[in-house]
A and B are shown apart, each in its own frame.
Chain A
Amino acid sequence: MVLAFLGGAILRASITDLYLRYVKQGLRPFLIAAGTLLVITAIVALLQELRQLNRTEAGPDDDGHGHGSSGPAVGWLLLLPALALLFVVPPALGADTAARAGSALTDNRDVAYPPLPPGDPAELTLLDYGYRAVYDHGRTLQDRRIQLTGFLAPGPDRQPMLARIVLSCCAADGVPIKIGLRGQVPQAPANTWVRATGRWIPHTAKDPVNDADVPYFQVEDWQHIPAPAEPYE
């Protein structure tokens, strides 16, 4: 029963886009397969149990020491993630993580930065913008209009910053990337997703949490957007 729940919960999360809140996209087929296997295991267990019920006496199928097919008590813990996935559906990491964890821009990625993608404004990820702004001194960013997408997170001075969480594997290793804002700073509650258009300015600050570099962005225009299905970078 516990297994059926866990399997079902995982299946549901992976068939909808919910799983993207917790892990990266590439895991989806494995999640579906694992969920299916869990459900099958549960069904087989149920069938075996039914067969046992039909017997007059516990035959050789009875493993004889009472934990039956429900398994050891520790198995009940598996209900927790299943119920959390089915009923609570924890949100993607957001402003809370951004406030507590240090920004991701801590080490120089020693690469040649290619020119920005074409288009006006040019769409960049926050991480890309950050690297170009801090370690390339904005060389490729000058004279271009740039569009960034992220959520609002209050910075150390309570001013909103643009942030996004970077995953390398699952939400447990999520690290925020933070961009300071100037100009038309969006005034909206934390965790509001915005798409901001603007320009690079040669100003960086330090993240008080881990001394990472926080580049700034001059906002000219911004708009609310619904939270994207893939909330991480």
Chain B
Amino acid sequence: MRWSIGEVIHLSTTDPAAPVTPTVPAGADLQPGTPARERAVGSTEVLCFLLILIGILHRPIGALMADPRLQTWLTVFVSVMVQAAPFLVFGVVLSAVIAVFVPRSFWARALPRHPALAVPVAGMAGVVLPGCECGSVPIAGSLIRRGVTPAAALAFLLAAPAINPIVLTATAVAFPRNPEMVAARGGASLVVALLMGWLWLRLGRTEWIRLPHRAHLDGLPRMAAFWAACRHDIIHAGGFLVFGAMAAATINVAMPQQLLHDLAARPLLSVLALAALAVLLSICSEADAFVAASLSQFSLTARLAFLVVGPMVDLKLLSMQAGIFGRRFAARFAPATFALAVLVAAGVGTVIW
């Protein structure tokens, strides 16, 4: 079990350590693993095999796709991917730039000494760090490792994926008729992040957090680390985005409109339903606004809950937090965040709409 947690960390690390100052003992890199040579050939072979298979089965597959419902599913699925792709790619590139070219020690120096003050500063720092939640988990872990008070790092962890410019731009694009959604999302997310930070100061215990030690891009030349971070993030976040797009398309096509209509008509239930959906779908925060926009039967408040909860609590984040901070931490942190996010989103939504 320890090993599998370690594996999660490896997979999810998107923040390469500052290449200048490798902190990890040299032995940390020497883990058992298949040599890269065999793996590379293996994946290419699988791909070729798949392509040949598709070439042969082209017509039967086409016939299979003739069903109108399946076609609609596929159209919606592809359109979510196509729409989200630019945001995903640019977000990943920017976060790789910052992760590789801004030394981590900078964040530690920039924060005030007093923990209660460091929380809002760290939360606001999320504004300038464009990235999706997959990127912010390892960064928050490394901030704590660098001596930043956990409360501040956690406020950053929650705020960064929700209030950075790329995500807010995506939200504005997705809700062209409701520009206030951008402010509502940014404000509600920031409030939740700060409250969670201060809550941690009062109730949190340091021993819940168990940080692993290592960062796997140490020692790479900068450009190599940059491209490796990009590639890793796109593949990782993109893969989860495919999951999300499939789920969204399934809901779009399979869910009877009447049920959504009924669910959407009940204010309280619809907020909870979309918040739960955000947890299940685990969509990257750079793309979730488009999915939220597609849930047009629901009230704006319910969709705001979707947008506030999504970047803070979801299945993929849960696994990443368990990996980076330890399971005891994740088991307490995630439910508390969920409850707080739903409350704040419902409150903000009620005030605005």
Q: Do A and B bind each other?
A: yes
Q: Interface residues, chain A, CB within 8 Å of chain B?
A: 1-3, 6, 10, 13, 19, 21-23, 27, 30-31, 33-35, 37-38, 41-42, 44-45, 48-49, 52-53, 58, 60-81, 83-85, 87-88, 90-97, 100-102, 168-173, 175, 209-210
Q: Give the interface segment out of B72-80, B113-121, B138-146, B305-313.
A: B72-80
CA distance A75 to B248 in the complex (A): 18
Look across to chain B and name the residue whose beta carbon is closest to the beta carbon of A57.
Answer: B35
B31 contacts across to A, CB distance below 8 A: 64-65
Q: In this assembly, does B2 line the interface, its C-beta being within 8 Å of a C-beta of chain A?
A: no
Q: In this assembly, does B103 line the interface, its C-beta being within 8 Å of a C-beta of chain A?
A: no
Look across to chain B and name the residue whose beta carbon is closest to the beta carbon of A77.
Answer: B242
CA distance A189 to B58 in the complex (A): 26
Q: B239 touching A172 by the CB < 8 A rule?
A: no
B253 contacts across to A, CB distance below 8 A: 100
Q: A10-B85, A60-B220, A172-B80 are in contact. Are A1 and B44 (CB under 8 A)?
A: yes
Among candidates A37, A87, A171, A172, residue contacting B89 with C-beta atoms closer than 8 Å: A37
Q: In this assembly, does B4 line the interface, its C-beta being within 8 Å of a C-beta of chain A?
A: no
Q: Give the interface segment out of B169-177, B199-207, B332-340.
A: B169-177
B72 contacts across to A, CB distance below 8 A: 93, 96-97
Q: A38 touching B290 by the CB < 8 A rule?
A: no
Q: A30 touching B86 by the CB < 8 A rule?
A: yes
Among candidates A6, A70, A83, A170, residue contacting B39 with C-beta atoms closer than 8 Å: A70
- Proximity string of chain B (45-88) to chain A, C-beta cutoff 8 Å, 1 when within and 0 when not: 00100100010001001100100110110111111111101101
CA distance A37 to B94 in the complex (A): 12
Q: For the side of the interface on B, what is the size category?
A: 35 or more
Q: A45 touching B227 by the CB < 8 A rule?
A: yes
- B residues 84-124 in Cβ contact with A at 8 Å: 85-86, 88-90, 93
Q: A41-B234, A70-B40 are in contact. Are A88 and B239 (CB under 8 A)?
A: no
Q: In this assembly, does B180 line the interface, its C-beta being within 8 Å of a C-beta of chain A?
A: no
A-B contact pairs, 9 of them (CB 8 A): A2-B235, A64-B29, A64-B216, A66-B33, A71-B231, A78-B242, A81-B78, A84-B78, A209-B257
Look across to chain A and name the residue whose beta carbon is closest to the beta carbon of B89.
Answer: A34
Q: B34 touching A66 by the CB < 8 A rule?
A: yes
Among candidates B61, B238, B245, residue contacting A88 with C-beta atoms closer than 8 Å: B61
Q: Give the interface segment out of B153-161, B271-279, B291-299, B341-349.
A: B291-299
Q: A168 touching B231 by the CB < 8 A rule?
A: no
Q: A13-B82, A31-B82, A90-B74 are in contact. Are A81 and B245 (CB under 8 A)?
A: yes
Q: Tell me whether chain A's interface is mostly helix, strand or loop, or mixed.
A: helix
Nearest-CB distance from A34 to chain B (Å)?
4
19 more CB-based (< 8 A) A-B contacts, given A61-B224, A80-B242, A172-B290: A2-B47, A3-B235, A10-B85, A23-B79, A27-B83, A33-B86, A34-B88, A34-B89, A37-B93, A52-B40, A60-B29, A63-B29, A66-B39, A73-B239, A85-B78, A90-B74, A100-B253, A170-B294, A172-B79
Nearest-CB distance from B294 to chain A (Å)?
4
Look across to chain B and name the residue whose beta carbon is closest to the beta carbon of A102.
Answer: B257
Q: In this assembly, does B228 line the interface, its C-beta being within 8 Å of a C-beta of chain A?
A: yes
Q: B75 touching A91 by the CB < 8 A rule?
A: yes
CA distance A225 to B124 in the complex (A): 54
Q: A34-B89, A49-B40, A81-B245 are in contact. Are A168 and B82 (CB under 8 A)?
A: no
Q: In this assembly, does B240 line the interface, its C-beta being within 8 Å of a C-beta of chain A?
A: yes
Look across to chain B and name the residue whose beta carbon is closest to the beta carbon of A42.
Answer: B231
A96 contacts across to B, CB distance below 8 A: 68-69, 71-72
CA distance A78 to B280 in the complex (A): 19
A172 contacts across to B, CB distance below 8 A: 76, 79-80, 83, 248-249, 252, 290-291, 293-294
* Residue in B34, B75, B88, B232 with the greatest tally of chain A CB atoms within 10 Å: B75
B37 contacts across to A, CB distance below 8 A: 52-53, 58
Look across to chain A and name the residue whose beta carbon is closest to the beta carbon of B35.
Answer: A58
Q: B234 touching A38 by the CB < 8 A rule?
A: yes
Q: In this assembly, does B281 line the interface, its C-beta being within 8 Å of a C-beta of chain A?
A: no
Among candidates A21, A48, A80, A171, residue contacting B224 with C-beta atoms closer than 8 Å: A48
CA distance A16 to B247 in the complex (A): 28
B82 contacts across to A, CB distance below 8 A: 10, 13, 19, 22-23, 27, 31, 81, 85, 170
Nearest-CB distance from A114 to chain B (Å)?
20
Q: A72 touching B40 by the CB < 8 A rule?
A: no
B217 contacts across to A, CB distance below 8 A: 63
CA distance A218 to B15 in the complex (A): 63
Ranked nearest first, the 3 interchain pairs of A and B with the lowest CB-CB distance are A74-B239, A66-B33, A22-B79
A2 contacts across to B, CB distance below 8 A: 47, 235
Among candidates B39, B61, B175, B236, residue contacting A75 with C-beta atoms closer than 8 Å: B236
Q: A88 touching B65 by the CB < 8 A rule?
A: yes
Nearest-CB distance from A147 to chain B (Å)?
27
CA distance A10 to B234 in the complex (A): 14
Nearest-CB distance from B325 to chain A (Å)?
20
Q: In this assembly, does B266 line the interface, its C-beta being within 8 Å of a C-beta of chain A?
A: no
Look across to chain B and name the residue whose beta carbon is closest to the beta carbon of A60.
Answer: B219
Q: A23-B83, A72-B236, A210-B257 are in contact. Are A171 and B216 (CB under 8 A)?
A: no
Q: In this assembly, does B30 line the interface, its C-beta being within 8 Å of a C-beta of chain A?
A: yes
Nearest-CB distance from B255 to chain A (Å)?
10
Q: A77 touching B257 by the CB < 8 A rule?
A: no
